[in-house]
Structure 1
Amino acid sequence: MPFALSPTAIWPVVMLFASNIFMTFAWYGHLKHKGAALYIAIVVSWAIAFFEYCLAVPANRIGSAVYTTAQLKTMQEVITLIVFSGFSVFWLGENLTWNHAIGFALIAIGASFIFRA
């Protein structure tokens, strides 16, 4: 029988990716604008985080019908590493090294155990 994912299994992943993009900009986006006042960075970060919550909360609510809480959290962490890697390179202009790649790969391998039956 072919492997097919239901929308209930796919939407949480899509929404967690989107929420992570907002979260990453809320937490780290201001580092590109260090000249801005800290209170402005805080207010803008909170405003961005609102949209992160608008995606993360329903993603977890919908996802709980298919995934365990541990699986949802593990997904969140792996997605965070993927989004953060792209953000570091494309927004902050930082380089990723082999050490980063190996460390992230080891985390992903560890995370894969959460999804084993």
Structure 2
Amino acid sequence: MPFSLSPAAVWPIVMLLASNVFMTFAWYGHLKHKGSAIWIAIAASWGIAFFEYCLAVPANRMGSEVYTTAQLKTIQEVITLVVFAGFSVFWLGENLTINHVIGFAMIAIGASFIFRA
């Protein structure tokens, strides 16, 4: 029988991925515009974070029907690393080094233990 995930298991991951894109922009997007006033960065970040919460809260509520809280947090942290890596390269124009890749991989390997029976 092929491996498949139910919609109840997939939707929280999709929503956490989308929420993390919003939160990454809220936390780090302003670094591309360091010349703007800090209060503008704060207000924009709060506005962006609102949409992150609109996705993260229901994702965690729905996800708790399928995953443990530790698993949900682990999923979110791995998503954070993936989103942040892409964001830092494509939005901020930074380079990922082999040390970044190794470090992120080690975190992902550690996270995999949360899902072992």
TM-score by length of 1: 0.99
Match of 1:80 in 2: 80
Once the two structures are TM-superposed, the CA of residue 57 in structure 1 deviates from its matched residue by 0.3
Q: Percent identity?
A: 83
Q: Distance in 1 between the 2:105 and 2:4 partners?
A: 26
Match of 1:40 in 2: 40
Q: What amino acid is the match of 1:84? A: F
Structure 1: segments with no counterpart, 5+ residues = none
Match of 1:69 in 2: 69
Once the two structures are TM-superposed, the CA of residue 14 in structure 1 deviates from its matched residue by 0.3
Residue by residue, what CA displacement relative to the aligned partner does 1:50-98 show, whole Å, maximum 9, x if unpaired? Answer: 0000000000000000000000000000000000000000000000000
Match of 1:50 in 2: 50
Structure 2: segments with no counterpart, 5+ residues = none
> Could you say what the CA RMSD is over the residues aligned between the two structures, in angstroms?
0.5
Find out whether 1:26 has 2:26 as its counterpart.
Answer: yes
Relative to structure 2, which stretch is displaced further, 97-106 or 1-10? 1-10
Once the two structures are TM-superposed, the CA of residue 109 in structure 1 deviates from its matched residue by 0.1
Once the two structures are TM-superposed, the CA of residue 2 in structure 1 deviates from its matched residue by 2.5
- Equivalences for 1:84-99 in 2 at 5 Å? 84-99=84-99
Q: What amino acid is the match of 1:115? A: F
Q: What amino acid is the match of 2:107? A: I
| Count of aligned pairs between the two proteins | 117
